[in-house]
């Protein structure tokens, strides 16, 4: 690091705030934290007198172990530790205040010292930082450490009483407020909320910090870092949250850095810090332990090992701030600094979930435009559920929890809790119930909606909820001052908020009033309070219709029509409402009310309603409601029929209760078994499903195998469920009911399928001892992390199992580490990923990346309701260099895996999928009318950064120019790729007969392809025997370096003093779908000059065109156009084969970076070799004028008989030229379209006219040239 530069920069620091300084540095480089204070104190072997000092020698309690006290009694020890870390290269030192709160110090009867400890510790650290700066070590900062305390808000200290807590939110806020103020008064530059194993404790600290900044203007911009702790490899905090949920729960405080520390070493922390990195637009901080503690409580991980592990984090773009926790020492920090100081920092994404409402329970919930309607469970409401109210009032909270659990199991994505009842102590009841929920992971996994008209009850709920919940509700009813006060508190607690369309004059009923009040509220919330627009949810009042009062008839219509207008006036806001109000006039008439709710939601959702408090389990499927009833409901909704109320009442009288209704309900039982199964699945009825499934199974004429019942009527029924769900005519709770019915049907069939398989094994003579040999292959299958839906996965597992594949089912919510560990342990042939919800797609991308990083080669299968072939092709397949296949449904899974295991069909299948996905990607990208192009400087900043010092390009065995004019044609012919040959003749087979040689089996073109091929073989043999074509070629390998980021200098020799040429590069600029993906240029694959690492570049030009013109002239003289075309086609194939042969020889001999390579010609055609040979005028460098540099350097005209035409085409036409790149990270890519800033830079660097460059690069311009 250039400390002189930092000293210079510090001269101008007066113009920047501390926060601005840190941000500027974080954008330039990785910053470094110190290591463990406790570890270093332990090394000093201090005793009780050291801790007591003179001041506390008569203190009534032992104080050994109270490390924070040493800032007062042994400041020399703490000062020396700070100095050692600063000398090691740390940018930040943490204050010795991990336990300096009244709560933690009370264990030593020293609570009264808490503020003093913080002030003095911060002063001590500040003195050390100033001394380091004066010594020329660069700018240094003090991080005020705020530990988690020894109490937890989310976990009971008593197993017998899960609602009990040993500290309150208010007590923690008071303790943290005093600590934060003390640290700031002592000179802390940053406040660090660290080692938070309970997110609610962290939220209390953040609440306190925000209060202190609000009350003390001089500290309003102090940066805040937040670091949580994943307690074990389960990937959760001690209080149960995932890293993604932790990010959502703490981001309201706008921390400058978010990350993890403690509990784990770097190796085990990686997946979790990666999850944080993917989940936040903040800078990341990571300071792991020195591995896991040994049996004696010590740490064995060496500085070198810790640094190497963190080096991989940095190379993969995960780090902004890094340091060490337990077990790390100044030696560890120095090793980390030395390894990482030259690597670029992580570039935070502009937004992780743009236009999304983010909520969390134990798990994160993303609500965006891809999310279907969000069901807010309504039954934990004492005002809306008689059963729940009775349980709460009779103190049966355990039973009340079962109501909450049932709602979550039935598909509630948010859980509404309301304790507003005259005989209840609302705050106490809310506190107790929320604390109990925290002890039930199956409930606590979803976000809560704290619902009350009493703000004290709302605050009670917020103080017990570690996740980011929803407050329901506030309004302008009591005026703007009251509204602002409550909104600011809600923001400080870190919640989203429902705003009712009320103001001082009452509730809004007209469209205009709804829009006006919502817009007024929005402006206050966003512009004055500073709330994220995505955290604003409007309830424009679903009011009761059909009351007999004429103006009420428009209430439903007004709500629905107000939705798009509110959203247009309030960007980012969402719409919710209590649906049951709509039909209140028809209470007691459940069939009518449920139909009204379904019809209302169907139309409201289409207009933009995002969520609602509704008992979705009681909603009928929209398409199943009798047409007559739908028409009446819609006439009421749209106020079309003045007699609509009376008609609906009359309908209710004639269609409720009695044997007639039951008989009509059972008429579906008289249909075919296929229709009965379909009906059961669509309506979630499991009463007869086993009976019907057995009837289908025993019909062996239609269903010879039990598996056929799954693949037939059961899959058909689930397909209809999927279609209705996608069309908005079914909701998630209904789909979950359908899934349960499906599970029950499949469970009935499994014993029969197992018996069938055992019988088959017995008949085949397969014995149990040879378990692996019993199966066709092994598939590890899982529903990815963040998703709990498994019906589709389970069906695939059954289908594969019935086809003799060993299926290792890892269940739901499976992190990538567990998936990959299982794949290794079971030696899987395939990994299958499933998911139903949209966030699953991002997790699948992550798994693909991890498979690539960890060197997997097995095929990756993608399936589930939310997946698609397009998403797989565009987003997932590019992240993994081995087969990635979207499996449409369970019936396709067997075909896919068998094709991938068939050694004869495998390569063709993979190639077919690869080409199909490339077409899909190209079509998708071309369809993006609003394609964004990043500025050239930004693209350069996000270039591929290879660590050439760690992985240098191998030194060539040969340097200079070498000419080839005597390579036998018969050797060259062995490298021919025949696939393009058939494309010349427009002969294209269909899979599995698409490629050579299987094209000969194709029903359509096979016969003709075989005839053309045979004739080609005859002519090829004539050419070889008569030496009718003369192959000529030239290669070179020269020393080279990247200069000016995008260009490559070529040197005469290893002295690298004489530049003999320069290749100019073009860089990708079209914004990547994956924001972490680098913007590539060929120069990225060559070591920069300033690195000092030697590198090289090769060139080649080959031709098999000499003699071709004479052959063709003779054929054409005889009017034999067919043989003339054949000769040109073969010359072209031989030229490409010559290029393949020379590249092979270069890799193995002349450059020698793959001396052990043993690839077949077919494998070479599939690009399985190391290094690349891109050609000017092709995707990686679309500029044909770069050929001119090659012709100056290796003189292909003289050495290979190849000339360039005015249009820079090669003559003879059967010629190929290009560059060689030998670094193992080199890859083929497409530059794509580029912007005018790059064209201008390119023209300036090449020293040519802008218009000339635009002419040559016309096809890739992203703009219209003048």
Positions annotated as catalytic residues are 787, 789, 840
How many CB atoms neighbour CB 454 within 10 A? 13
The 8 Å CB, 24+ separation contacts for 913-922 are: 913/883, 913/885, 916/873, 917/869, 917/872, 917/873, 917/877, 917/884, 918/873, 920/869, 920/870, 920/873, 920/874, 921/873, 921/874, 921/878
Residues 6 or more apart from 974 whose CB is under 8 A from it?
Answer: 1137, 1141, 1161
Cα three-residue angle 759-762-765, rounded to 5 degrees: 150
Distances (CA, A) of 360 to 242, 250, 965: 10, 10, 70
Of 614, 538, 865, 501, which is closest to residue 599 (Cα–Cα)? 614
Token output for 656: 């409720």
Token output for 424: 């209840």
Decide: 885 and 876 in contact? Cβ < 8 Å.
Answer: no
Collapse the DSSP code of 227 into the 3-class scheme (helix H, G, I; strand E, B; otherwise coil) and give the result. strand
Residues 104, 110: Cα–Cα separation, whole Å = 9
Of 286, 215, 219, 210, which is closest to residue 254 (Cα–Cα)? 210
Alpha-carbon torsion angle 221, 223, 229, 230, nearest 10: 90
Residues 785, 847: Cα–Cα separation, whole Å = 10
Name residue, tokens 């292959």. Answer: 777
How many CB atoms neighbour CB 248 within 10 A? 27
Residues 1083, 1061: Cα–Cα separation, whole Å = 14
Residues 426, 303: Cα–Cα separation, whole Å = 55
Helical segments of 962-1085, H only: 969-973, 979-984, 1006-1026
Decide: 151 and 166 in contact? Cβ < 8 Å.
Answer: yes
The 8 Å CB, 24+ separation contacts for 385-392 are: 389/421, 392/419, 392/421, 392/424, 392/429, 392/433
Burial 198-211 (b: 16+ CB within 10 A, else e): bbbbbbbbbbbbbb
Instruction: State whether the Cα torsion 465-470-472-473 is positive or negative.
Output: positive
Decide: 296 and 42 in contact? Cβ < 8 Å.
Answer: no
Burial class (CB in 10 A: 0-12, 13-18, 19+), 643: exposed
Residues 792, 735: Cα–Cα separation, whole Å = 12
Residues 90, 76: Cα–Cα separation, whole Å = 19
Q: What's the number of CA atoms in the CB half-sphere (13 Å) around residue 904?
A: 4
φ and ψ at residue 163, rounded to 5 degrees: -85, -10
Distances (CA, A) of 31 to 270, 490, 629, 892, 922: 18, 33, 66, 50, 40
How many residues does the structure list for the chain? 1266
Burial 804-817 (b: 16+ CB within 10 A, else e): bbbbbbbebbbbbb
DSSP result, 468-527: --EEEEE-GGG-HHHHHHHHHHHHHHT-EEEEESEETTEE--SHHHHHHHHHHHHHIIII
Collapse the DSSP code of 780 into the 3-class scheme (helix H, G, I; strand E, B; otherwise coil) and give the result. strand
Residues 232, 563: Cα–Cα separation, whole Å = 45
């Amino acid at each position: 690091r250039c400390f002189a530069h930092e000293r210079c920069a510090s001269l101008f620091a007066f113009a920047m705030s501390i926060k601005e300084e840190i941000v500027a540095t974080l954008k330039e480089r990785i910053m470094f934290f110190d290591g463990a204070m406790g570890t270093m104190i332990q090394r000093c072997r201090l005793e009780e007198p050291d801790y007591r000092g003179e001041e506390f020698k008569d203190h009534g309690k032992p104080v050994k172990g109270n490390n924070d006290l040493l800032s007062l009694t042994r400041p020399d020890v703490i000062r020396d530790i700070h100095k050692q870390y600063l000398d090691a290269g740390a940018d930040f030192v943490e204050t010795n205040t991990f336990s300096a709160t009244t709560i933690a110090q009370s264990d030593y009867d020293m609570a009264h010292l808490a503020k003093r400890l913080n002030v003095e510790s911060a002063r001590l650290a500040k003195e050390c930082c100033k001394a380091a700066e004066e010594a020329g070590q660069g700018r240094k900062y003090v991080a005020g450490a705020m530990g988690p305390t020894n109490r937890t808000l989310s976990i009971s200290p008593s197993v017998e009483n899960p609602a009990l807590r040993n500290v309150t939110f208010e007590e923690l806020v008071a303790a943290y407020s005093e600590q934060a103020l003390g640290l700031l008064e002592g000179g802390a530059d940053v406040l660090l909320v660290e080692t938070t194993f309970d997110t609610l404790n962290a939220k209390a600290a953040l609440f306190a910090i925000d209060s202190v900044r609000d009350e003390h203007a001089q500290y309003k911009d102090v940066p805040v870092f937040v670091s949580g702790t994943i307690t074990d490899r389960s990937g959760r905090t001690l209080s149960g949250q995932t890293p993604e949920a932790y990010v959502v729960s703490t981001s309201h405080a706008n921390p400058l850095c978010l990350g993890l520390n403690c509990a784990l070493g770097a190796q085990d922390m990686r997946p979790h810090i990666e999850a944080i990195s993917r989940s936040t637009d903040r800078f990341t901080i990571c300071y792991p332990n020195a591995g896991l503690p040994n049996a004696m409580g010590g740490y064995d991980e060496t500085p070198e090992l810790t640094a190497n592990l963190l080096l991989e984090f940095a190379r993969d773009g995960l780090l902004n701030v890094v340091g060490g926790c337990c077990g790390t020492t100044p030696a560890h920090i120095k090793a980390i600094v030395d390894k990482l100081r030259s690597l670029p920092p992580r570039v935070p994404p502009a937004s992780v979930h743009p236009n999304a409402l983010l909520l969390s329970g134990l798990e994160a919930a993303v609500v965006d435009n891809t999310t279907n309607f969000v069901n807010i469970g309504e039954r934990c409401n004492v005002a809306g559920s008689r059963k729940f109210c009775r349980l709460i009032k009779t103190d049966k909270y355990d039973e009340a929890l079962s109501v909450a659990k049932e709602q979550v199991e039935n598909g509630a994505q948010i859980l509404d809790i309301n304790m507003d009842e005259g005989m209840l102590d609302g705050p106490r009841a809310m506190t107790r119930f929320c604390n109990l929920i925290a002890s039930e992971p199956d409930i606590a996994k979803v976000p809560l909606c704290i619902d009350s008209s009493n703000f004290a009850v709302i605050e009670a709920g917020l103080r017990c909820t570690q996740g980011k919940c929803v407050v329901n509700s506030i309004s302008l009813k009591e005026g703007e001052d009251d509204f602002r006060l409550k909104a600011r508190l809600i923001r400080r607690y870190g919640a989203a908020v429902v705003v009712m369309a009320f103001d001082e004059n009452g509730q809004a009923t007209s469209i205009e009033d709804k829009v006006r009040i919502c817009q007024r509220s929005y402006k206050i919330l966003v512009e004055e309070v500073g709330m994220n627009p995505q955290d604003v949810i409007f309830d424009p009042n679903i009011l009761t219709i059909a009351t007999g009062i004429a103006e009420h008839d428009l209430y439903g219509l007004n709500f629905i029509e107000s939705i798009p207008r509110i959203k247009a006036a309030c960007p980012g806001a969402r719409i919710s409402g209590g649906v049951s109000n709509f039909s209140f006039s028809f209470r007691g008439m459940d069939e009518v009310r449920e139909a009204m709710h379904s019809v209302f939601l169907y139309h409201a959702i289409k207009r933009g309603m995002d969520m609602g408090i509704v008992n979705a389990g009681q909603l009928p499927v929209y398409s199943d409601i009798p047409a007559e009833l739908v028409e009446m409901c819609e006439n009421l909704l749209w106020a079309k029929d003045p007699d609509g109320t009376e008609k609906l009442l009359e309908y209710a009288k004639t269609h409720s209760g009695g044997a007639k209704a039951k008989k009509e309900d059972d008429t579906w039982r008289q249909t075919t078994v296929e229709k009965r199964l379909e009906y059961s699945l669509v309506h979630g009825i499991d009463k007869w499903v086993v009976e019907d499934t057995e009837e289908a199974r025993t019909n062996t004429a239609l269903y010879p195998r039990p598996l056929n019942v799954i693949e037939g009527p059961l899959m058909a029924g689930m397909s209809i469920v999927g279609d209705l769900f996608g069309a908005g005519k079914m909701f998630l709770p209904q789909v979950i009911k359908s899934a349960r019915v499906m599970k029950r049907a499949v469970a009935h069939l499994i014993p029969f399928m197992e018996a069938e398989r055992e019988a088959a094994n017995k008949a085949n003579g397969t014995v149990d001892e040879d378990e692996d040999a019993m199966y066709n292959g092994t598939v590890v299958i899982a529903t990815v992390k963040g998703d709990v839906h498994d019906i589709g996965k389970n069906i695939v597992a059954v289908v594969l199992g019935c086809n003799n594949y060993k299926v290792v089912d890892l269940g739901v919510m499976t992190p990538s580490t567990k998936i990959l560990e299982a794949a290794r342990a079971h030696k899987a042939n395939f990994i299958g990923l499933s998911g139903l919800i949209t966030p699953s797609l991002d997790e699948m991308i992550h798994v693909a990346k991890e498979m690539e990083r960890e060197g997997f080669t097995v095929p990756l299968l993608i399936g589930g309701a939310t997946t698609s072939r397009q998403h797989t092709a565009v987003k997932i397949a590019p992240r993994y260099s081995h087969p990635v296949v979207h499996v449409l449904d369970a019936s396709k899974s067997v075909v896919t895996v068998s094709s991938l295991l068939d050694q004869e069909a495998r390569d063709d299948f993979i190639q077919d999928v690869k080409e199909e996905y490339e077409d899909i990607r190209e079509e998708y990208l071309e369809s993006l009318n609003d394609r964004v192009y990043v500025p050239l400087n930004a693209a350069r900043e996000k270039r591929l950064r290879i660590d050439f010092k760690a992985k240098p390009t191998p030194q060539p065995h040969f340097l200079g120019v070498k000419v080839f004019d005597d390579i036998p044609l018969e050797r060259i012919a062995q490298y021919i790729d025949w696939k393009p040959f058939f494309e010349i003749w427009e002969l294209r087979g269909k899979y599995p007969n698409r490629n050579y040689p299987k094209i000969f089996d194709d029903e359509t073109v096979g016969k003709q392809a075989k005839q053309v091929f045979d004739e080609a073989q005859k002519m090829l043999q004539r050419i070889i025997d008569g030496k009718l074509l003369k192959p000529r070629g030239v290669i070179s390998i020269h020393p080279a370096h990247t200069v000016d980021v995008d260009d490559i200098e070529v040197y005469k020799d290893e002295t690298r003093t004489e530049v003999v040429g320069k290749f100019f590069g073009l860089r990708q600029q079209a914004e990547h779908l994956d924001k972490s993906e680098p913007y590539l240029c060929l120069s990225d694959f060559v070591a920069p000059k300033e690195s000092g690492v030697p590198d090289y570049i090769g060139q080649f030009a080959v031709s098999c065109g000499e003699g071709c013109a004479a052959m063709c002239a003779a054929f054409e003289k005889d009017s034999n156009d067919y043989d003339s075309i054949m000769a040109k086609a073969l010359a072209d194939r031989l030229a490409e084969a010559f290029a393949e042969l020379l590249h092979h020889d270069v890799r193995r001999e002349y450059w020698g970076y793959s001396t052990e390579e043993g690839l077949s010609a077919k494998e070479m055609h599939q690009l399985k070799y190391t290094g690349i040979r891109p050609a000017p005028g092709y995707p990686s460098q679309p500029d044909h004028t770069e050929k001119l540099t090659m012709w100056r350097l290796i003189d292909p005209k003289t050495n290979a008989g190849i000339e360039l035409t005015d249009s820079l085409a090669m003559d003879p036409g059967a010629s190929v030229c290009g560059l060689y790149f030998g670094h193992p990270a080199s890859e083929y890519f497409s530059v794509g379209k580029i912007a005018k800033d790059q064209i201008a830079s390119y023209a300036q660097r090449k020293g040519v006219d802008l218009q000339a460059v635009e002419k040559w690069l016309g096809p890739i311009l992203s703009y219209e040239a003048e």
